[in-house]
Amino acid sequence: MNLTSKEYMEYLVLAAKKIDDNGNYITSLDAITGDGDHYTNMQLGFSKLTENADEFALLSLSECFRKIGMTLMSAIGGSSGALYGSAYISASKVLMDKETIDTPLLLEILSTMLDAIKKRGDADVGMKTMIDALAPAVDVFRDGLTAGIDSSSLFEAVKQAADNGAQSTKDMEAVKGRAYYQANKGVGHIDPGAMTMAYQIETLMDYISEL
């Protein structure tokens, strides 16, 4: 598995579509625990990436990730924009002078993104946020890679971990963000930010499995 900016942008176009296809579902989740705008804001950000995909595909990986970060930051806005922006900008530093992303480097990127999101959001696992989809995916990725399991099983396991992680937010009490204001802290409902994070990881794993 080797990704350049071109493949990474192809993946993001697919992720944009995945988010778009599930727009009504995401909005319905956010209407319960937030203020109903998570999908529309994510859509603004990811459609900007789709528009710029051909242009960004020509950049070095590091510059490509930096541009993705800046785009998401200004187009999504809100918490998600700041968090995805910070994630991609941190990852762009890891990618300095790298020409392709292989499997170990992809793990390092996801792990760097997780750290950046935790730091920017002053949040951790178990607070009913996007971290609850990303963190278990990174853990499973690391364990699988260390254990040396084959690529297709590894990618499938990471994908499952992200989805299970998003589903697990259903029972969690929110600590950060708007769901915190709910009388029951959003218990009983999946966090929309965790769901859209899981969609991205799922799409990425499916995409690299096909390469």
Partner 1 sequence: MKKIINEPANVVPDTLEGLALSDPTLVYSKGFEVISRKERREKVGLVSGGGSGHEPAHAGYVGKGMLDAAVAGNVFASPGPEGILEGINMANNGKGVLLVIKNYSGDIMNFDMAKELAEMDGIEVESVIVKDDVAVPDSTYSTGRRGIAGTIFVHKLAGAKAEMGGSLAEVKDVALKTIENIRSIGMSMSSCILPAVGKPGFTIEDNEMEVGMGIHGEPGVERTAIRPSKELAEILVSKILEDYDYIGSEVALMVNGLGGTALMELYILNKDVHELLESKNVKVYKTLVGNYMTSMEMAGCSITLLKLDDELKELLDFPCETPALKL
Contact positions vs partner 1 (CB under 8 A): 27, 31, 35-37, 40-41, 44, 70, 73-83, 85-86, 120-121, 175-178, 180-183
Q: What angle do CA 19, 91, 98 make, to 5 degrees?
A: 115
Whose Cβ is closer to partner 1: residue 66's or residue 159's? 66
Whose Cβ is closer to partner 1: residue 142's or residue 176's? 176
Cα Rg of the chain, angstroms: 16
CA distances from 46 to 10, 62, 194 (A): 12, 19, 16
CA–CA gap between residue 32 and residue 141 (Å, rounded)? 32
**Tokens 């989805």 sit on residue:** 163
Whose Cβ is closer to partner 1: residue 4's or residue 22's? 22
Whose Cβ is closer to partner 1: residue 17's or residue 36's? 36
Whose Cβ is closer to partner 1: residue 49's or residue 161's? 49
Q: Smallest gap, in angstroms, from Cβ of residue 80 to partner 1?
A: 8
Coil, strand or helix at 69: helix
Q: Smallest gap, in angstroms, from Cβ of residue 180 to partner 1?
A: 5
Length of the chain: 211
Q: Smallest gap, in angstroms, from Cβ of residue 107 to partner 1?
A: 26
Q: Smallest gap, in angstroms, from Cβ of residue 63 to partner 1?
A: 17
Q: Smallest gap, in angstroms, from Cβ of residue 208 to partner 1?
A: 29
Q: Is residue 152 packed enough to be buried (19+ CB in 10 Å), middle (13-18) or exposed (0-12)?
A: exposed
